[in-house]
């Protein structure tokens, strides 16, 4: 390794470096630099006018104030539930696209899953609000059908947030699932039936083990998106949605306490990393395999 | 004869308006090796998949072990299948592959392990249970696929061109091994192939299939020496095919005028009348060579076109003098005629009893 580095760079080496440069610049400018700045902000405390000393006070504050870490745990838990629910809903859809629909039908189904993403998340979520608010379409329909006597407020519930999160995540689960299910040889499924398996056993012993990298990749993507989402929980959940990103927003924008906000940002990063690692451990997957195979 | 393990009665399968399997009937005796031989696309896999239960016939009846299979799901049939691409489970070890079917039957873990181990030993893979599928060679995978099915002791084992993916040398070897395995286990095999040599070597009986129908069912010897249709005569083994007109039908002997100055004699199969358009099939080994100009030399004459040396299957390609038709004649094993030169004149004769003549069916005959 040391030899290669010491040797003058060959033409191919330069070409490779050139090809990599946008990615490296992106990493440096948008990820490493801001996080370095955030780290500095979070680990210091104002001791006087323009005078800062290193300190853990922002982190201590997080653990002392129950509202903070309640929100934190709630966000993590709801994200896990949303991820799992998305997986359960996306799996049959991905199965139909990958294994049952043929040619054009499969392409149309895929397109149908993508159509919501032609509209920005904000507009889509506002659409949900129009449907769900007390004077909105759905409560009116429910009254018409005689299911409820008076229009009910369907916004600002945890369930509503959950529905919105699942809706936003669907495509990101379906894509990796479809690609991993498509690569499953139908003969394996038939062979399993032939050897006496029933549908459930085929799912458990053949389909899920084969699709595991796709399932894991989809879950990681959806979990990250959900955990870091801001618009959906805030708009559908209202002011008190209790989503951790909202807390970060409040610290930065409302309270102008950048140090506290930075500490929260870091805690969110650590949390998502830990949960992803735990998920990989539980499912017996390796990150490189998962990302390499999908 | 004891009760057949498999009976098919007028089985039909259509895909749209294409009839893939067209009213097929046959029986397979217990413990025998039955092959379905036919060109690619003739409906072999479709027929096998109906027996395995992956396709429901559009008509007719399939019974296994005397029990009708209508409406019986594949996982409930006393049948196992060795798939064309083997379909071993890559997410499992070799041992788990073999145990898979036993586990589905609720066999206890230790018994499962013992049975799978014993089965792997019988197919020459002792100690391979812990290996991963992709660590095995092509031939070893083949054996795992067979072991995985045989460990369930099925009434019937279905094999869909199982040697197709192997290279030639290994195929020859596995062919013999398969035959020995079948004899040893006594399981009834139904074997699909497009390779006539596989079918002839392995089978007790062969059904020759073409366009969704069986042209002929018989022993390999029947098919080879007594083909009943032109398709069988042409598909099974090598043959010289000559077309012409019947000029003189006497008993089962027919004289055939090829229309370009050559006359051959052949055995009639089916109805042939004077003046009918006919085709004649003569195997290379049903012709004998003699030196041109020798006393009592053979009735047909030609010149040597090329020598095709292939060990015991060596032949000479010659051109008949008057008709200029190409004829392939086997070289005798004695080494005689090994010195033939291109362009050399040669005489030959056909054994009329082994040259078979069919009337050409025109479309009007249906
Ligand atoms: N699922 C299917 N849908 C439509 N046509 C099919 C299907 N399966 C097979 N066929 C057609 O039926 C014919 C027989 O196919 P197959 O049984 O696979 O032949 P073989 O195994 O002898 O090569 C082919 O013409 C094939 O195109
Ligand atoms: Mg086939």
Q: What is the pTM of this model?
A: 0.84
Q: Each residue of A35-51: pLDDT tens digit?
A: 888 888 899 888 888 88
Sign of CA dihedral B26, B30, B36, B42: positive
Q: Which domain holds residue A274?
A: 60-292
Confidence of residue A14 (pLDDT cuts 50, 70, 90): confident
Statement to judge: residues A82 and A120 lie in one domain: yes
Q: Give the whole-angstrom CA distance, residue B130 versus residue B107.
A: 19
Q: Each residue of B51-89: pLDDT tens digit?
A: 999 999 999 999 999 999 999 999 999 999 999 889 999
Beta bridge partners of B242: B280
Statement to judge: residues A22 and A74 lie in one domain: no
Domain membership of residue A50 (yes or no) is no
Statement to judge: residues A150 and A279 lie in one domain: yes
- Over pLDDT 70: what percentage of chain B? 97
Q: Give the whole-angstrom CA distance, residue B321 versus residue B300.
A: 8
Statement to judge: residues A13 and A67 lie in one domain: no
Domain membership of residue A47 (yes or no) is no
Q: Please provide the size of chain A in residues.
A: 294
Statement to judge: residues A270 and A128 lie in one domain: yes
CATH of the domain at A95: 1.10.3720.10
Statement to judge: residues A84 and A122 lie in one domain: yes
Nearest CA in chain A to B145: A191
Confidence of residue B166 (pLDDT cuts 50, 70, 90): confident
Domain membership of residue A52 (yes or no) is no
Q: Which atom of ligand 1 is nearest to the CA of B161?
A: 21
Statement to judge: residues A26 and A146 lie in one domain: no
How, if at all, do strands B33-37 and B205-210 pair?
parallel
To the nearest whole Å, the CA of B346 is away from the closest chain A CA by 55
Instruction: State both tokens at B259.
Output: 């229309």
Average pLDDT rounded to a whole number, residues B265-279: 93
Domain membership of residue A55 (yes or no) is no
Statement to judge: residues A19 and A70 lie in one domain: no
Contact between chains at A210 and B91 (C-beta distance less than 8 A)? yes
Nearest CA in chain A to B100: A195
Q: Each residue of A211-262: pLDDT tens digit?
A: 999 999 999 999 999 999 999 999 998 777 789 999 999 999 998 888 999 9
Residue A216, helix vs strand vs coil: helix
Q: Is B102 a residue whose pLDDT tops 80?
A: yes
Whether residue B134 lies within 8 A of chain A, CB to CB, comes out as no
Q: Give the whole-angstrom CA distance, residue A101 versus residue A109.
A: 8
Contact between chains at B74 and A193 (C-beta distance less than 8 A)? yes
Confidence of residue A4 (pLDDT cuts 50, 70, 90): very low
Q: Give the whole-angstrom CA distance, residue B294 versus residue B309.
A: 25
The DSSP call for residue B251 is T
Name the closest ligand to CA B84.
2
Domain membership of residue A13 (yes or no) is yes
Domain membership of residue A54 (yes or no) is no
Contacts of B84 in chain A (CB under 8 A): 187
Confidence of residue B2 (pLDDT cuts 50, 70, 90): low
Beta bridge partners of B316: B307, B329
Write the ipTM: 0.85
Statement to judge: residues A140 and A20 lie in one domain: no
Confidence of residue A294 (pLDDT cuts 50, 70, 90): low
Contact between chains at A194 and B105 (C-beta distance less than 8 A)? no
Domain membership of residue A250 (yes or no) is yes
Count of structural domains, chain A: 2
What domains sit in chain B, N to C, each tagged with a CATH number?
6-231 (3.40.50.300), 238-365 (2.40.50.140)
Statement to judge: residues A227 and A171 lie in one domain: yes
Q: DSSP per residue over B24-36, as a string?
A: EEEEEETT-EEEE
Contact B346, B301 (CB under 8 A): yes
Statement to judge: residues A255 and A122 lie in one domain: yes
Q: Give the whole-angstrom CA distance, residue B292 versus residue B341.
A: 13
Contact A185, B83 (CB under 8 A): no
Q: Each residue of B19-63: pLDDT tens digit?
A: 999 999 999 999 999 999 999 999 999 999 999 999 999 999 999
Statement to judge: residues A38 and A169 lie in one domain: no
Q: Which residue is listed with tokens 């929980």? A: A233
Instruction: State both tokens at B136.
Output: 């095995």
Domain membership of residue A49 (yes or no) is no
Instruction: State both tokens at B362.
Output: 């025109």
Q: Is A5 a residue whose pLDDT tops 50?
A: no
Contacts of B230 (CB under 8 A, 6+ apart): B279, B281, B358, B360
Sign of CA dihedral B41, B42, B43, B48: negative
Long-range contacts of B312-319 (CB under 8 A, 24+ apart): B315/B284, B316/B289, B316/B340, B316/B346, B318/B346, B318/B348
Whether residue B73 lies within 8 A of chain A, CB to CB, comes out as yes
């Amino acid at each position: 390794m040391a030899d290669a580095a010491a040797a003058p760079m060959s033409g191919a080496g330069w070409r490779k470096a050139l090809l990599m440069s946008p990615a490296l610049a992106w990493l440096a400018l948008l990820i490493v630099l801001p996080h370095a700045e955030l780290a500095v902000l979070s680990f210091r405390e104002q001791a006087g006018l323009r005078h800062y000393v290193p300190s853990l006070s922002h982190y201590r504050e997080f653990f002392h104030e129950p509202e903070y870490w309640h929100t934190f745990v709630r966000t993590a838990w709801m994200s896990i539930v949303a991820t799992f629910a998305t997986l359960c809903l996306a799996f049959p859809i991905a199965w139909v696209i990958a294994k049952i629909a043929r040619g054009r039908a499969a392409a149309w189904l895929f397109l149908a899953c993508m159509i919501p993403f032609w509209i920005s998340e904000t507009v889509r979520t506002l659409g949900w609000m129009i449907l769900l608010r007390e004077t909105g379409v759905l409560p009116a329909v429910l009254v018409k059908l005689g299911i409820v006597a008076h229009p009910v407020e369907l916004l600002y519930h945890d369930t509503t947030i959950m529905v919105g999160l699942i809706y936003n995540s669907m495509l990101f689960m379906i894509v990796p699932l479809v690609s991993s299910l498509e690569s499953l040889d139908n003969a394996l499924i038939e062979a399993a039936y032939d050897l006496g398996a029933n549908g459930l056993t085929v799912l458990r012993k053949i389909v899920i083990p084969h699709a595991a990298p796709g399932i894991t990749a989809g879950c990681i993507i959806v979990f990250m998106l959900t955990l870091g989402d801001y618009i959906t929980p805030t708009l559908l959940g209202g002011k008190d949605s209790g989503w951790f990103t909202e807390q970060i927003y409040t610290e930065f924008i409302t309270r102008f306490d950048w140090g506290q906000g930075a500490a929260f940002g870091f805690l969110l990063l650590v949390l998502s990393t830990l949960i992803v690692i735990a998920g990989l451990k539980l499912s017996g997957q390796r990150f490189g395999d998962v990302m390499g195979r999908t | 004869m004891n009760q057949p393990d498999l009976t098919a009665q007028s089985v039909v399968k259509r895909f749209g308006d294409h009839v893939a399997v067209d009213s097929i009937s046959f029986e397979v005796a217990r413990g025998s090796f039955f092959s379905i031989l036919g060109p690619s696309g003739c409906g072999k896999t479709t027929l096998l998949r109906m027996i395995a239960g992956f396709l429901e016939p559009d008509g007719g009846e399939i019974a296994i072990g005397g029990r009708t299979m209508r409406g019986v799901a594949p996982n409930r049939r006393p049948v196992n299948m060795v798939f064309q691409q083997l379909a071993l489970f890559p997410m499992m070890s070799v041992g788990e592959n073999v145990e898979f079917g036993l586990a589905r039957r609720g066999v206890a873990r230790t018994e499962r392990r013992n049975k799978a181990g014993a089965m792997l030993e019988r197919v020459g893979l002792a100690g391979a249970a812990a290996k991963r599928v992709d660590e095995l060679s092509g031939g070893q995978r083949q054996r795992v696929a067979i072991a995985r099915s045989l460990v369930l002791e099925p009434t019937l084992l279905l094999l869909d061109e199982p040697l197709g993916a192997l290279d030639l040398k290994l195929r020859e070897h596995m062919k013999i091994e398969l035959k020995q395995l079948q004899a040893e286990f006594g399981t009834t095999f139904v074997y699909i192939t497009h390779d006539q040599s596989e079918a002839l070597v392995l089978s007790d009986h062969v059904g020759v299939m073409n366009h969704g129908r069986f042209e002929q069912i018989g022993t390999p010897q029947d098919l080879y020496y007594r083909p009943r249709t032109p398709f069988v005569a042409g598909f099974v083994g090598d043959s010289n095919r000559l077309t012409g007109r019947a000029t003189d039908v006497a008993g089962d002997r027919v004289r055939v005028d090829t229309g370009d100055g050559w006359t051959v004699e052949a055995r009639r199969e089916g109805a042939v009348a004077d003046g009918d358009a006919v085709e004649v099939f003569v195997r290379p080994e049903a012709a004998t060579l003699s030196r041109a100009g020798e006393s009592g030399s053979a009735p047909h004459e030609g010149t040597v076109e090329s020598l095709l040396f292939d060990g015991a299957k060596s032949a000479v390609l010659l051109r008949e003098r008057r008709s200029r038709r190409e004829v392939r004649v086997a070289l005798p094993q004695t080494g005689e005629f090994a010195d033939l030169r291109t362009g050399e004149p040669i005489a030959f004769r056909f054994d009329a009893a082994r040259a078979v003549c069919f009337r050409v069916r025109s479309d009007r005959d249906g």
